[in-house]
Amino acid sequence: MVESFERQVQTRAIPAFNIHRALRLKERDLNEVVRTLEGVLPRYMDGNIDTKVILSEVDLRIMADIALVHQAMINLVKNAMDAMPNGGSFSIETSRANMQNVSIADGRNGNGSPCAFISFVDTGDGIDEKIKGRIFEPSFTTKRGNAAGLGLPIAHHIIMLHGGSMNVESAVGRGTAINVYLPLVSFGSTNRRPIALPDRITGI
């Protein structure tokens, strides 16, 4: 299972920027996608990072090209790990949200439609406000060495391809929350109400 998942990630990473490629969409529960991700997390983090995964108690049905969504999530995990060279805490949490609360959106999608929400929160270095607006630019990176700087741009691009959005909350020296919003499938067929998220993710 793990090896198959990682082969998908590796073989699909480069085509992620090909916007002309047809997405291979299937209905998925975001919680199940995260459970698969949770199984490979130890491969990407050191033992001195405390990890927590909190899943919604309700299904979060989305239409997803599963290999690309996995790629986006792995990129976000790697980004968090790079921000904590001396250890820290990392969490992934899923829930339902309502895009009508524009304070949690990126401004592109404020039509009030309910969505699936997933946050990636680390207690790492944080992002300087001066460069926060550039982190989704291809090849922009603050990392040393031969880092290509494509991890966050590819993740952002994949989420946009799925009709979703992504924003970043961060404070230097306190950590970063990357918040992802994806459209829910047939939300109206349930009697459950969407959750309105707070303006900030707790823990930062």
| Longest CA span, the chain | 51
Decide if 197 is inside a domain: no
Is residue 100 in some structural domain? yes
| Residues contacting 71, CB < 8 A, separation 6+ | 8, 9, 12, 13, 16, 154, 155, 158
Q: pTM for the complete prediction?
A: 0.74
Query: Residue 92 gets which letter from DSSP?
Result: E
CATH number at residue 85: 3.30.565.10
Q: Is residue 196 part of a domain?
A: no
CB 70 within 8 A of CB 9: yes
pLDDT one-digit tens code per residue, 83-133: 898 899 999 999 998 764 433 344 444 456 789 999 999 999 888 777 777
Answer yes or no: is 83 within a domain: yes
**Is 105 part of any domain?**
yes
Asked, for residue 202, whether it belongs to a domain, the answer is no
Cα 71 to its chain centre, rounded Å, is 10
Count the domains in the chain: 1
198 in a structural domain: no
Residues 35-83 pLDDT 10s: 999 888 888 877 789 999 999 999 999 999 999 999 999 999 998 998 8
Q: What is the residue range of 180's domain?
A: 2-189
